[in-house]
Structure formats: structure tokens, C-alpha cells
Structure 1
Amino acid sequence: MKYANEIQKRRTFAIISHPDAGKTTLTEKLLLFGGAIQVAGAVKSNKIKKHATSDFMEIERQRGISVATSVMTFQYGDTLINLLDTPGHKDFAEDTYRTLTAVDSVILVVDSVNGVEEQTRRLMEVCRMRDTPVIVFINKMDRDGKNRFDLLEEIEKELNIHLHPMTWPINSGKDFKGVYDLHNKSLVLFTANTKANEEDVVNINDLGDVVLDEKIGDADAKILRDDVELVEGVYGALNANDYLKAKVAPVFFGSAVNNFGVKELLETFVRISPTPQSRETSVRHLDVNEDKFSGFIFKIHANLDPKHRDRIAFLRVCSGKFERNKYFHHVRLDKDVRFSNPYSFMARQKDVIEEAYPGDVVGLFDTGNFKIGDTLTEGESFYFTGIPSFSPELFKEVVNKDPMKTKQLEKGLLQLTDEGVAQLFTQFGGNKKIIGCVGELQFEVIQYRLLQEYGASCEFRTLPYYKACWITSKDQKKLDDFTRFKTNNIAADKDGHLVYLAQSEWFLNTERQNNPDIEFHFTSEIHKEG
């Protein structure tokens, strides 16, 4: 229990949403409140050269989308907040799913105009699998969107979650006048482009107060009174325990781009969100209050700084105290490692830290020792469970356009696929390099980064595969025979494990029936212990 104070101070969460719901904008506004940045970047505007703080890869700046999870740490009052901004684009969902294993709660951004979208559903399923507490921020209230009651009903039905409004909107679109804070009994009036800490707040202890009519007009005051009576009758006061158990999601209405409704969200988040939580491992339940250090790698990023060929492994501290220059045990490699320059993050800026506590995310300079899911401990051997890895759905052969740069291409492919957004396979008995991804955009990003960061130019040739299956068997001879007969469909992943590339579902099912002694696995987790 010696680090209980530090644990109580910390909150680690991710912001998730469908693309374009305003996630990166909300991230920026939270950083403004925390004093971590002074000027918000115009994410979509090319006229302004200040880009969103959390979008640090060149291709993200050009396209105005986040394709890699960024980590930002800032202080708000007495609370130290670790915020993980995730890619909204579905082609990078895998990165987002892994990030969700490193946080204790999430803020889900829903666009009031479009409501619940496909990616919102997928992300919410991951949160439910892990019982992650969720706060919902309904964004873009200053645009003409869906009716507020319809929107709540749609979110509850589509995402299968009970909501609890914490603020209530007064109109929307061009008639949007602000929100009524149900918790603090105050009226927060809307003006476009508000700066942080400059909200126009009117305390109204009694909704019958004539001040309400003066501020928003008789008609809107009447609607608000009826709405609030209905909402309070249905929902009552928020039970913070139900939120922590992921049974209820508090809801806020606002406009991130205008910095409106964000402060109420942040203050409630600090008040009710969970401190760093205990976790399950392959051996036992690990209590967050244990004195001995443990943590796991949930993300790897190559070339964070294009001037230096660096790879950073992102470590989530789960228990104990991480210390600079102290030896820790790398479980998979079974060797002790130490770090002379561990970092904390403010997107691109890195500050060397001396120590870190549960909930913190530390950047470790990596020379190729780490893979996603690796565990560091003070000697004990275990893995943290539940870190997903997916079977790719799109496969392309890498065609080298510049044979003089073969070495650079191979190095780039290895390093970029280590980040976990794509998988690299080498055809069995040959040298054909195959990249497997979950989405089309990933190929574009890989091609761009190979050229920009490694000077290697390549193109991709689509291959007719439907799924990658890792194959194992207790009977080595059967496995050898299978790989010999199916040479064209067999590849090795970068760790040398055999993979069967199936052309279709029919082919896959046929092979499974014809080869009962061979097991087909859809993730590489099977090799985790090896």
C-alpha cells in the first residue's frame, strides 16, 4: 500500500468515437483546461499551420485524421490525467482495441447530427467485454441534429447501455442556447468560440426563478422546466457505483470546437472516474496496491522523431513503482533490462522521467526487444491477459520498386509491422513478403512511411486470401506433410510461426475437416507462452 497516495491521484482514460465525431478536438480542449497547451490546433483547416497537438505523424497532419494512438499527460487540480487519444478510422481499430486494455475508463464522443455509427458500436462492444466505465459526450450541439430524447433512446438501444444525463441542452443548431447542469443546478449559456475558463454560468437553485425566463426567453424556459422535471423523474441522482461497474453512462451535451460543455465533463470525470484498477494475469489476480513493479507493452511506435531512428514502446504501469535505471525482468526474453531515458508524453514532446506509478504510461526507448503484450516485472513470470491480436482480412504482396534499397525496405517492414497495425508474412520456402491488414488505409500509411522514414519505395499487389490462420499440431509429421502439400498457401510470421493463408471460407473449412490433427488459430496468442 505504500503508493496508495500516488494511485489515488491518477486517472488513465481513452477518448473513443467514430471518425469525425470530434474526438481529437475534444482532446485538445481537455489539454487547454489542464494548461498543457496554450493554443488549440485547427485539425481540419489547412490554412492554419498549427495542427492538432495529438496528431503527430506527418500523414495524420495531411489528412486530418488520427491513425496512431497518442499519449498525453496533464495535471488538472490535484489529479494527474493520462489521456490516450485513439484513431477513429476503422482501419486502425486494432490499435484502438489494444489501447482500451491500457485504460481504466473511456469517454465516448457521439456526433449529435449522425448519432450512433458503425465504429461507435464496435468500440462499445470492446468496452462491454471489459466492463470499462463510460462517460458519453454528445458533441456538435450547435449544429442541427437529432432530437435530444430520440438521441438518448438511440444510444441506449444501439449500444445496449443505460444513460444518465448530467447536463441538459436548450435547443440545438442555430437556436442552441446552452445547457442546464443537473448536478450543480446551474445554467451555462452558450456563446461560440469560448476560451477555457470563460463560461457564462448562472446559478439557479429553483427552476421557477424568473432569471431563467430573462436569460433564455419564456418559451425555452418552459420547455426546459418540463424537460428537467421529466429527466429528473426518470433518472434521479447518479449512482457513482453503477457508473464504476459500467452499468450506467453519465451523459454531457456540448460543442467541443466551441469549448462548450467540456469543463462540466472534465470536472465530473475527475470526481467520479476510477483510479487505476487491479488486473488479471496468466498466473493470478494482480492487485494495483502491490509494492512490486509490473507493467505491459500495449503499443510500439517506430520513428516518433523522424530525425532519429527511434522506436518507442508504450508501457502501462500496473503495480508498484517504475524507476529509471533500475533493472526489471523481461518475462518473454527471460532477461533483465533497464532504461536510462524513460519518457512521459505530451504528444510529440518527450520528457525524461525518474519514476512512474500505476496508471502512468511510460515511453521506453526500444532497440527491438519488445512486442505488444510483453510484460516487465520485478522477477515474477506472468502475462497480463486480454490483449487482443486480430487475423488480417486484406493481404498484399510487397513489390520492391528500388532494388538498391532492399535493406531499407526490409528494415522498414519489420519495424512498422512491430507496431501491430499490420502483420508481416514470408511465403514458405521463398522470399515473397506479404502484408496482412485489417483495413485498406493501413497499406497507404505503410507505403507512405516506408518512403518518408526509410527511403524505400514499394507498391502492393493484392493477393486472393481471405484469412490467416496460425497452425499447430501435436503430431509434427502431420504438420510437415501439410506444409509440404500446401506450400503456396503457407507462410511464416515474423516470429517464424507457421500460418495457413486460406483463399476462402470454403477452403478453410475443407482443410479443417480433412486435417483433424492440425489446429487452426485466428490469432497468434497461442504462441504467447512460447
Structure 2
Amino acid sequence: MLRSISRRFNYRLFSTISDIERVRKIRNIGISAHIDSGKTTLTERILYYTGRIKEIHEVRGKDGVGAKMDSMELEREKGITIQSAATFTKWKDTTINIIDTPGHVDFTIEVERALRVLDGAILVVCGSSGVQSQTMTVDRQMKRYNIPRLIFINKLDRIGANPFSVLEKIKDKLKLNAALMQIPIGLESNLRGLVDLLEMKAVYFQGPKGDKVVYDDIPAELKSEAEAKYNDLIGALANVNETIEEYFLNESKPPIDIVKKAIRECVINRTFVPVYIGSAYKNTGVQPLLEAVTSYLPDPSEIKQEALELHNEENKIELESDSKKPLVALAFKLEDGKYGQLTYFRIYQGKLTKGTNTHNMRTGEKVRVPRLVRMHSNEMEDVNYLEAGELGAAFGLDCNSGDTFTDGAVKCVMSSMYVPDPVISLSCSPLTSKDLLPFQKAIARFKKEDPTFHAEFDASLNQTVISGMGELHLDIYLERMRREYNCKTKSGRPKVNFREIINKKTRFEYTHKKQSGGSGQYAKVIGYIEPLDDYSKNEFKQSGGSGQYAKVIGYIEPLDDYSKNEFVNQVTGGTIPTNYIPSCEKAYKEAIKKGFIINHPIVGMRVVLQDGAYHEVDSSDLAFRIAMTNGLAQAFAKAIPQLIEPIMTVEVTCPIEYQMPVTAGLGKRQAIISDTEIHDDYAVISAECSLNDMFGYSNDLRSQTQGKGEFSMEYFEHRPVLPSKQNDIVEEYKKLAEEEAKLLQ
């Protein structure tokens, strides 16, 4: 089977033409959207119409097979994409590398790392629900990585589908200069075809699977509407393209080849987004979308790619999609398969050849590449090399996600991808002693594969605490432990990742003395703490002179934004010897990991160590660590400490008759309703709510809507907890701590 596929898709036939022409015939694209917008269904049709697969299978298909790109058993059971899947296919003479990404926000890292290495994308929007919460998240991710995109308004066969309304929301909510390239012939159950606004032809998709594309005259009743939408398209282009603007101002119709050239230029410059329409499930509109991918999205050489030089102040160097240049490749995703670790690569420059040595720029180690493959979901095709602009994978490399590989001729690294912090945690441990080894293996694998999955052992609980992006995220990993590792686990209630901050500049002065026979302990620290401007990154700054003794004096202070902490050494005159400053720094780092309110990390605090004292005999590293810890605790308690909690954006979709009880239910959870939209028979309610108040909401929503409601939730920001609520959280924490202490006795 794989051999026949390999013969059929012989991508090495480009070796007979120049490297420039080879790269021009490559498109690296991702397909992204809000959950249940039809990404995987669209990908299945693309693979079928390009001849990559012989049969179409549906997500949660009745035949039990499932879509090709949902190869994981859990994905087929739940009908959602959990891991991004890569494939490659060919439309006419153009190679298309595709990554199908998850829609659920809990798996947002899969979208991040896919977009990091892609040159273009298709943003899928539901023709009925329109722009939803995750649509806006994906849009932000595409803008973060400067990704040119097309938009495909899908599911026009659904009740309430309206591409014109969806287009207005795309322009309003996503702030995109977008215009329709097609209009529908019929909608909902009457969807029969499309009108191509450039060709001014009706397009029909005939045959049981829409294989046969037929062009015909536009129905008479749609001609005036088609002309109006064509003028809208030209108007949108005229705003960003001087050539089209000239035709527009002269009220003359530009030639179709000039319009197409302008669209391509504007798409690549990200000043215009063409909008295509159809229904992937009803086999309508996919082939014109494929034509648009090859016509308007960029090839690898048209996207500026830069790397950072090592040992040269990280100066930027521009990379070229040239296989004869020195190798630069990025490992962007890891999987643990039956043959070992599978590392997904994007080749930015040069050629990666099987059996040759490469250099890992992070570790400096030279590693051999024993096997190279190209992926078709969970199937593999062995290749001897991967060239500039291509995506592939390698076995036998021990590396991390985000590592840069070169052939040694250049010393550079690619910029890192954005990795959001986890927002939810739960305690987890193996059920029996025989489950311990597979449990440890699973945790190690998941941490390596997924940068948003964290796990740390809590000695006080004698349990591992796992953290992730949501309840579903952690539930999936627990289920994978059971299925893939035959490991049974027990877990505690999910725990919200609160953070601790201060609101007032406060001084500290603490002396640690202990005399109990033999050598004693002495250290004094003086300083202050204060809030910082940004509360999430931890830094240590050194600016003191030399000296000897054990006393620390300083202060701590809060910041204006939750993103970092700082330790500033202002000790002069040797009042604290320089060899004891690292001990104070270590105490600071331990303190910010587990704060003083409920043992959650401290953010947004600057610690300034100003003065201190030491003793020639009794001072030690331990003494200064104890003094610093107690000094910080002393100041923290007086600095108006406060908890901040993760706030989520929540979007609930329900039949309109359940709008009132759903809104009331959100109100009971202290949610702030930000918007309510009505789409025919459905209401879409947008709100902001504390993650701590959202546990168990799925059960409430089912009972409020008779199982007809659904919701999505995404991290927005951390905000201060109300004083009354903070008191309840602190009391609950103390109660649990007492219970755990009794169990340990």
C-alpha cells in the first residue's frame, strides 16, 4: 500500500528542474478554526480530491473508520482533533504540505507550533455560528506569526447559514480587509452550487462525491447580486492595491489576470483576505479552494525567514529556501512512536540527508540522522533527504521541541514559539505500585511532547501535580495513561493556578541567630519589596561590591503587570560577603515558587537587598537563606498581599428558548456577560468568568438546555480576587493543609 502511494506521489521528480522552480511548487499550509467548524472534514475532502486517499470517511463515521487525519483512537471516539496531524498531497503540479490542527482551546499549543513553521493557512469559519471565541484566538495566532491566509466559510448546508452575515462579522471582529470570492446558489438544504465572482460563472459539483466540477451560466436571479459582490471585491482590493485602485477610480473593469495578480500580492502582504464558501460535508466548494491555495498563498521563498546568530549578540540573518545553502532546520513537534521518538522538522535552508550528522544548536552535540520520513497522518514514507521548504520527520534524534539543527557551517537558532502558561492543576498518582513505572514513563513522555503540560512531584502530598490548559486537556492525558501505558491512576479535584502579588512597598530587616553549642548561625538582611511593572518573569540583578558577614537588609515591592519578579543586589561596602549573595538569591527563588498566602507562585515583585551583617565564624549559606526567607515573609505579610486568579472567556451556544436560564446560570457563577448574539433559533452568549467558578459547568449547562447547549472556554488574563472570596480560599487551603498533615502523622 505504502509503496504504491510512494510511486504515485513521487515528489522527487522535481530533481530534474531547478531548485527555484521546485520551491515555487510547494505550499505549506495549516487548517485551523473554532472547534466543530469542519476542519478535519475539509482536510478529508482535500485528500480525496487530490487523489491522496481513495475513500471519504467522516469524523465519528458510521463505518467505524473515521477521518484519515484523526488517527488516534480517542480522536475517533470523541469526534475531535487532539493532536495536529501532518500530510502531503498534490494538486495539479503543486505539492501541498498540510497540518490539520485541533479546534479546542485546551490543545492550543498544537496550533501554535504548526503556525510557527507554516507559510500560509486556511481559517475555517462556520457558516451558521460565524466568528466564535476560538476563531478569534486562531486569528490572533495567525497574526502573531504573520501568516497569510484564506478564509473558508463552511457548513452552508446548515440551518441558519448566511455567508454575508458571517463576512460582516469577519470584518468587524477580526478587523480583516476581506471580501467574498463566491456567492452561494441556494442555502441550507437548497445549497446547489456557487457563483465564481472572477470568472462570473456558476459552479456545480456533480456526482455522488462532488468529483465533477461543472461551469455554467449564472442563474438570472443571481446576476445583479453577483455584480454587486464583485464590485465589493474590487473595492476591497482598491483600498490596498494601487493598480486596482486606478481601475476603480476610473470606473473601469480590470482584466482578470491583473485582479488575480493583485489578490496574490495582497494576500502575501497580509493586506487582503479572500473568502471562499461551501460545505465540505456536502462536497461543495473544495476544488475552488484548492485552486486558491496554489494561486494565492505563498511558496516558501516568498516568506521572509530569519534566524539569530549565536555568539554574535543574536544578530538576525536572513535564510534562503535554497538546498545548496548551509542547513538550518527546526524541530517543532515530538511524538513517541513504536520506533522511538519521532521528530517533526521544517527545513528552512539547505538539505537534511539520511545518514549524515547534524548539530543541535541548543546542546552543541553532533547527532546522526538514521531515518527520514514524510508523514501521511499515522503512515510514513521513507525518504533519503528533505530539502529547503519541506516538512518531514526523523527517527532516532534525542532533542526537545523548538531545537534548531544545522550542518555546523552556520551557528544560529530559530526564534522560539509562544507557549502559554497552564491554568489548571490536579493531583495525580498511580493506583498501585505496579503502575508506578508506566506512570513515570507517561509523565516524562507527555512533558517532552507538550510544552503546556507540566508535572511536578509534591513531597508534602506524596503525589504528582499535573498542570495544563483545561479539564479536557488533563482528562485526555489521564485517559492516554490508561490506554497507552495500561496505567491506572487516581486524581484529586482540579486546582486553579492562583498567583500571589503585593500592593505596597514594604521594608524588611531580619536577623537570624542560633546558638546551641558548637558553631552557631548568624545572618542579617535589610532591604525592601515592591510591586513591579510586569509580574511573571523572574530575574536576578547583581550590582553589589565585595565584603564579608551575615546580615541582610532590603525590601520587596509589587509591579503593575503580572509577568516577572526581580532580585536586585544593592549591597555595598562588604556588609554581606559576595559569596553569600547567591544564598540570598536562592532563598528568593524558592520563595517566589511557593508564596506565603496559599503556597502559589509570587509574581510582580521586586526584591531589593540593600544591607546586612555577617559573622566571621557563625555566618553560612544556610544562615543567609533562612534570614532571607524569613525577611521576605515578614515584609510580604505587611505589603497588602493579594491573590490573582485566571479569568476565562466563555462562549455558550444554546437554543434561544434556553437563553434566560443559561444567562441566569452564568450570573450565579459571577460571570460578566459581554455580548449576546441571536442566530435564527440559537443564542450565542459571551462572558468572562473566573476559572475557579467554572468547575462542573458542563453538567449545569446540560440540565439547563436538555443537553442541547455547548460551551467553549479560553484563558484571558489573571485578575485580583475579591477580599471576601480570598478569605474563603485561604480558609479552604488551611483546612486541606490540616487534613493532609493528619494523614501524614
Asked if Structure 1 and Structure 2 have the same fold, meaning a TM-score greater than 0.5 normalized by the shorter chain, the answer is yes
Spell out the pairing of 1:80-479 with structure 2 (5 A cutoff): 80-189=95-204, 193-196=208-211, 198-202=212-216, 204=217, 212=218, 216=219, 218-228=220-230, 231-232=233-234, 235=237, 237-238=259-260, 239=262, 240-276=264-300, 277-283=303-309, 284-290=316-322, 291-303=325-337, 308=338, 310-366=340-396, 369-379=398-408, 380-420=410-450, 421-427=452-458, 432-461=463-492, 462-466=494-498, 471-474=538-541, 476-479=582-585
Aligned mates of 2:270, 2:54 — CA distance in 1: 34
Aligned mates of 1:314, 1:102 — CA distance in 2: 10
Aligned mates of 1:6, 1:346 — CA distance in 2: 21
TM-score, normalization: structure 2?
A: 0.61
- Say whether the 8 Å CA contact 2:359–2:366 is kept in structure 1: yes
- Say whether the 8 Å CA contact 1:323–1:355 is kept in structure 2: yes
Gaps of 5+ in 2: 1-16, 238-243, 245-258, 310-315, 501-535, 542-580, 611-627, 629-745
1:172 shift after superposition: 1.5
Amino acid at match of 1:85: D
Amino acid at match of 1:280: E
Amino acid at match of 1:39: E
Q: SS where residue 67 of structure 2 aligns?
A: coil
In the alignment, structure 1 residue 40 sits paired with structure 2 residue 64: no
Q: 2:25 aligns with which of 9, 23, 35?
A: 9
- Say whether the 8 Å CA contact 1:169–1:178 is kept in structure 2: yes
Aligned mates of 1:59, 1:347 — CA distance in 2: 15
Partner of 1:508: 603
Amino acid at match of 1:27: T
Alpha-carbon spacing, 1:446–1:489, altered in 2? closer, same or farther (3 Å): farther
Aligned mates of 2:385, 2:224 — CA distance in 1: 55
- Shifted more, 83-92 versus 372-381: the winner is 372-381
Amino acid at match of 1:33: Y
Aligned mates of 2:469, 2:266 — CA distance in 1: 35
- Identity level (%): 23
Q: SS where residue 442 of structure 2 aligns?
A: helix
1:394 shift after superposition: 0.9
Aligned mates of 1:76, 1:443 — CA distance in 2: 38
Aligned mates of 2:360, 2:235 — CA distance in 1: 54
Could you list the per-position Cα deviations for residues 281-303 of structure 1 after superposition, in whole angstroms to 9, with x for gaps in the alignment? 22222322351111111111223
TM-score, normalization: structure 1?
A: 0.85
Alpha-carbon spacing, 1:193–1:441, altered in 2? closer, same or farther (3 Å): farther
- Say whether the 8 Å CA contact 2:70–2:81 is kept in structure 1: yes
Spell out the pairing of 1:12-23 with structure 2 (5 A cutoff): 12-23=28-39
1:232 shift after superposition: 4.8
Amino acid at match of 1:279: Q
Partner of 2:634: none
1:147 shift after superposition: 3.7
Could you list the per-position Cα deviations for residues 111-162 of structure 1 after superposition, in whole angstroms to 9, with x for gaps in the alignment? 0100000011011112112221010001111223354332211101111111
Could you list the per-position Cα deviations for residues 26-52 of structure 1 after superposition, in whole angstroms to 9, with x for gaps in the alignment? 11111112211011111133x212211
Could you list the per-position Cα deviations for residues 165-199 of structure 1 after superposition, in whole angstroms to 9, with x for gaps in the alignment? 22222331123232111223321135685333x12
Amino acid at match of 1:508: V
Aligned mates of 1:36, 1:200 — CA distance in 2: 22
- Say whether the 8 Å CA contact 1:3–1:320 is kept in structure 2: no
Partner of 1:522: none
- Say whether the 8 Å CA contact 1:465–1:502 is kept in structure 2: no
Alpha-carbon spacing, 1:450–1:162, altered in 2? closer, same or farther (3 Å): same
Aligned mates of 2:20, 2:353 — CA distance in 1: 17
- Say whether the 8 Å CA contact 1:295–1:318 is kept in structure 2: yes
Aligned mates of 2:156, 2:378 — CA distance in 1: 31
- Say whether the 8 Å CA contact 1:467–1:501 is kept in structure 2: no
- Say whether the 8 Å CA contact 1:324–1:340 is kept in structure 2: yes
Aligned mates of 1:195, 1:484 — CA distance in 2: 62
Aligned mates of 1:278, 1:128 — CA distance in 2: 15
Aligned mates of 1:472, 1:430 — CA distance in 2: 29
Aligned mates of 1:60, 1:422 — CA distance in 2: 19
- Say whether the 8 Å CA contact 2:59–2:67 is kept in structure 1: yes
1:13 shift after superposition: 0.7
Amino acid at match of 1:439: G
Amino acid at match of 2:584: K
Partner of 1:72: 87
Gaps of 5+ in 1: 205-211, 491-499, 519-530
Aligned mates of 1:430, 1:150 — CA distance in 2: 53
Number of aligned residue pairs: give it.
Answer: 487
Aligned mates of 1:68, 1:503 — CA distance in 2: 30
Q: What root-mean-square deviation, in Å, do the aligned CA atoms of Structure 1 and Structure 2 show?
A: 2.8
Alpha-carbon spacing, 1:166–1:407, altered in 2? closer, same or farther (3 Å): same
Amino acid at match of 1:247: T
1:452 shift after superposition: 1.4
- Shifted more, 430-439 versus 350-359: the winner is 430-439
Aligned mates of 1:90, 1:371 — CA distance in 2: 23
Aligned mates of 1:175, 1:226 — CA distance in 2: 22
- Say whether the 8 Å CA contact 1:193–1:258 is kept in structure 2: no
Alpha-carbon spacing, 1:427–1:244, altered in 2? closer, same or farther (3 Å): same
Q: SS where residue 281 of structure 2 aligns?
A: helix
Aligned mates of 1:315, 1:231 — CA distance in 2: 38
1:417 shift after superposition: 1.5
Spell out the pairing of 1:25-64 with structure 2 (5 A cutoff): 25-45=41-61, 47-64=62-79
Structure ranking higher on relative contact order (CA contacts 8 Å, 6+ apart): 1
1:485 shift after superposition: 5.0
